Amino acid sequence: MCGIYFSVAKDRHILPDQPTVDALHARGPDSYKVFQTTDNDEKLHLTFISSVLALRGQNIQEQPLHDPVSRSVLCWNGEAWKSDGVPVEGNDSAYIWRLLQISLAHPHDRQHRIAQVLSHIAGPFAFIFYDAPTATVYYGRDRLGRRSLLINQRDYGSLTLASTSPNPSGTATAPSEVSTNTIHFFQFQEGSILQGKLPWASELYPINKGLPDSEIAALPSHESVDGLLVHLRESLMLRSVDIRDHSHPQMTADAAKVAILFSGGLDCTLLARIIHEILPSDEVVDLLNVAFENPRSLAAKGRIQASAYEQCPDRVTGRSSFTEICEVCPQRKWRFVAINVPYTEAVAHKPIIIRLMYPHNTEMDLSIAMALYFAARGQGELLEVYSNVCSEPIPYLSTARVLISGLGADELYAGYSRHAAAFSREGFQGLADELEMDFNRIGSRNLGRDDRVMSSWGKEIRYPYLDEDFVRFSLDLPVWEKAGFRRGRPVPKHHEATGLASTPGDLEPAKMLLRLAAWRLGLRRAAAERKRAIQFGARTAKMDAGKGRTKGTDVLAVAA
């Protein structure tokens, strides 16, 4: 994972401002390099910058990658897990660079070949590739938008691309997130910058919107559960095994390489359970659980300050699921990291978080980003359990530079309340339409913002539920195999949920296939957990007592 930056200007090289430099360094603490060149024909000044968080390969692969013969340049931010279906071994940026250089040897269809290389990558990425012989810059994000890339055109004729946002008040136009619908490019011709787009050479699989032509079973099939577990295990294998840490080459065996963003909910607990089957039993896994001191909530419920964190909903479910995962998998040392954020600390970091998440700038964006920001930092109190023996809480900072997130499960398997509402209105057709809309907008709604916020700690966020093969499997399932919604079966209201189920048929219908998978693996309590938005579970929503009746869609008064 890296931070990347590019600028082009007519009169001089444009370097990022100091806050942007700091943000790039934070994203990639292992290497930072600037490469500048000039297009003499067009009299344009080009600046490329890459910072590197080295997690793959034997050595740190510095960037930008530059070919002195063709003068082409690549800035790569991401992970190529597979290329054309074949696993990529070693350093992926060097591998993709070689493929792009091969494409330049075909002058007549080089654009098509470049699109082929990029379209066949499975994994999260953002990139900037300068094809010097044709004076063309290609750039973009993977089709799900799992990595951030912002574009900004300034008032003095320059254009910039960057993983992180510049200071909005210092630019003539606000940066915007690069669309994931196409591969983008611009060419330098006669002193002008001509922009264009290339279609992806292959498409993501469409959602199965078929409707049942006969009576369907009350629950998804055993075969679907089997398929889900196989694909999810393969996804986690790619994302949790053989993680390098070049910043700490002498890491002790007790240092965690992987941490899970752990609310205690169904999605993250299922990931923890499957990771246990993948990693050696002596490898530690950190479970990061965040809770906030929320003055509004405390005042409304009359709670004492000392219990502010332990009474947060995500702390309650987190400890419950932690206990269950330790019971089911007692051989591993699990670390429950209780990340307690005082209100004063949240307020102090608020300007930083607003800057990182920009151009997202609503109250909901802030409440979600704040929870992710402090969770990713990994600083809290440690509770260890090994062979069912608990330690006393001690101050702890997680060493894991790979964070596993459960994001994507709700969009694929109908976890939001609006999915139940869509089914109530229009049956399986309405549910399929709602799922399609949610999945198609996940990159613009969540992923770019989340990448900017969490990567600021020098961490890489990996999304097993958004693995291309897992997505393809999930989208191809009929909607009644994903969820347990059935005509005549009432959907329980949130306050009616008990968190208990004596049989699989008693489980909540939302994300039923995931619940059945968890149930099969022994996670009975986690299988029964209701969906709860992170801003309410961690209590970051509506923290300021003076704001009155704010809405999540309200735009922040200050965006920088």
Phi then psi for 269, rounded to 5 degrees? Answer: -70, -35
Helices (H), 190-283: 222-240, 266-278
Query: Residue 197 is encoded by which pair of tokens?
Result: 């787009």
Which residue type, as a one-letter code, is found at position 284?
Answer: V
Secondary structure class of 266 (helix, strand, coil): helix
Residue 2 annotated as catalytic: yes
Taking residue 304's Cβ as centre, other Cβ atoms within 10 Å add up to 8
Which residue type, as a one-letter code, is found at position 486?
Answer: R
- Annotated catalytic residue within 2, 268, 312, 329: 2
Please list the residues that pair with 127 across neighbouring strands. 76, 140
d(CA 10, CA 432): 49
Strand order in the sheet with 121-122: 86-87, 82-83, 121-122
User: How far out from the chain centre does Cα 560 lie?
Assistant: 23
Q: Quick check: 60 and 68 in contact, CB under 8 A?
A: no
- Please compute, for residue 172, the number of CA atoms within 13 A of its CA located in the half-sphere on the CB side: 8
Query: Residue 273 is encoded by which pair of tokens?
Result: 């359970």
Helix (H) and strand (E) counts for the chain? Answer: 18, 23
d(CA 429, CA 211): 7
d(CA 25, CA 152): 20
Beta strands 334-341; 73-78: pairing state: unpaired
Q: Quick check: 321 and 529 in contact, CB under 8 A?
A: yes
> Residue 443 to residues 149, 220, 226, 373, 466: CA-CA distances in angstroms?
11, 28, 28, 18, 11
User: How far out from the chain centre does Cα 316 lie?
Assistant: 24
- Please compute, for residue 91, the number of CA atoms within 13 A of its CA located in the half-sphere on the CB side: 19
d(CA 65, CA 161): 17
> For residue 79, what are the contacts with CB-CB under 8 A and spacing of at least 6?
1, 56, 92, 123, 124, 125, 460, 462
Q: Quick check: 6 and 150 in contact, CB under 8 A?
A: no
Query: Residue 487 is encoded by which pair of tokens?
Result: 């005509």
d(CA 55, CA 114): 25
- Secondary structure of 85-122 as H, E, C letters: CEECCCCHHHHHHHHHHHHCCCCCCHHHHHHHHHHCEE
Active site residues: 2
